């Protein structure tokens, strides 16, 4: 059994089909990079996996449990699947520490002392140990994004989803966030990331998926796919991003 099993998923917003017959299995420990033009359905696919978006047909199973069933306990599922967004989405009225501990104490009922301990561990992991008592608006974009990663890590998820997490950052801040990702990858975290960082995808991802018009157009080992695209769509896409 794979960690994620996606079978024949269709999703549309009204008339617009955003996912068309998408099937994909992801094994524990894999690092999947998803690339494609905007509007190709890559972010939507990620958001479907943790139940943020409903699908019209097909099935998505995570860890053997169906995500898109009526009786799915999304609350439990989301403790096992972390997601980090392009726009950080930290809670502006809470300190960094509270951003990280709120789900631990409220959802997992971890005692505060222990939750603070966990917060210290994960914030150290992303290299911001001195920022525990800062508020999000006192941090740079790169730092905020690292806090968002720490917030997800605190729940000890089995899978991390990253939705274009460096796209809103100034170029000089991208490196620090990618370094955190690379470390996570080294620690064996299963990850799916939608990204435009081709160099990062090539070096870190174990598998690369190219999405086009709502379909998985090409997939395979990252280097192979990037070096020898099989379809004209991928060639032209790579041509436009790797100037």
Partner 1 sequence: MLLRVVPFKPAQVLAISYINFFQGTPVLGQLLIIFFGIPLFTGTEVSAWTAAIVAFSLFSGAYLGEIWRGSIEAIPKTQWEASASIGLSTIEQLRYVIIPQAFRMSVPPTVGFWVHLVKDTSLASIIGFIELTRAAQIMNAATFRPMTVYLTIAFVYFLICFALTRLSARLEKRLRVAN
**Residues binding partner 1 (CB under 8 A):** 50, 52, 74-76, 78-79, 81-83, 85, 87, 89-93, 102-103, 106-108, 135, 137, 151-152, 155
3-state secondary structure the chain: CCCEEEEEEEEEECCEEEEEEEEEEECCCCEEEEEECCCCCHHHHHHHHCCCCCCCEEEEEECCEECCCCCCCHHHHHHHEEEECCCCCCCCCCCHHHHHHHHHHHCCCCCHHHHHHHHHHHHHHCCCHHHCCCCHHHCCHHHHHHHHHHHHHCCCCCEEEEECCCCCCCHHHHHHHHHHHHHHHHCCCEEEEECCCHHHHHHHCCEEEEEECCEEEEEECHHHHHHCCCCHHHHHHHHHHCC
Minimum distance from CB of 61 to partner 1 (Å)?
19
Least distance in Å: CB of 236 to partner 1?
32
Residue with smaller CB distance to partner 1, 93 or 186: 93
Which lies closer to partner 1 via its Cβ, residue 160 or residue 225? 160
Residue 85 or 200: the one with the smaller Cβ distance to partner 1 is: 85
Query: Cβ of residue 187: shortest distance to partner 1, in angstroms?
Result: 20
Least distance in angstroms from the C-beta of 102 to partner 1: 6
Using the minimum distance from each CB to partner 1, give the nearer residue, 60 or 81.
81
Cβ distance to partner 1 smaller for residue 108 or 202:
108
Provide, rounded to whole angstroms, the least separation between the CB of residue 89 and partner 1: 4
């Amino acid at each position: 059994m794979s960690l994620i099993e996606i079978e024949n998923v269709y999703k549309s917003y009204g008339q617009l089909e955003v996912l068309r017959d998408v099937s994909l299995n992801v094994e524990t420990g894999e690092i999947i990079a998803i690339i494609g033009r905007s509007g190709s359905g890559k972010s939507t696919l990620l958001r479907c996996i943790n139940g943020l978006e409903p699908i019209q047909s097909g099935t998505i199973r995570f860890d053997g449990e169906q995500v898109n069933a009526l009786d799915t306990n999304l609350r439990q599922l989301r403790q096992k699947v972390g997601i980090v967004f392009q726009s950080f989405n930290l809670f502006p009225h809470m300190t960094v520490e509270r951003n990280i501990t709120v789900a631990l104490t409220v959802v997992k009922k971890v005692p505060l002392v222990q939750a603070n301990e966990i917060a210290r561990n994960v914030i150290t992991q992303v290299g911001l140990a001195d920022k525990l008592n800062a508020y999000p608006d006192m941090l740079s974009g790169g730092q905020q994004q690292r806090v968002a990663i720490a917030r997800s890590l605190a729940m000890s998820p089995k899978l991390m989803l990253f939705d274009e997490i460096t796209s809103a950052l100034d170029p000089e801040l991208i490196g620090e966030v990618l370094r955190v990702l690379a470390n996570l990858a080294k620690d064996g975290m299963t990850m799916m990331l939608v990204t435009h960082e081709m160099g990062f995808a090539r070096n870190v991802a174990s598998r690369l998926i190219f999405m086009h018009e709502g379909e998985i157009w090409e997939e395979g080992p990252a280097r192979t796919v990037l070096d020898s695209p099989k379809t004209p769509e991928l060639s032209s896409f790579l041509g436009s991003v790797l100037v």
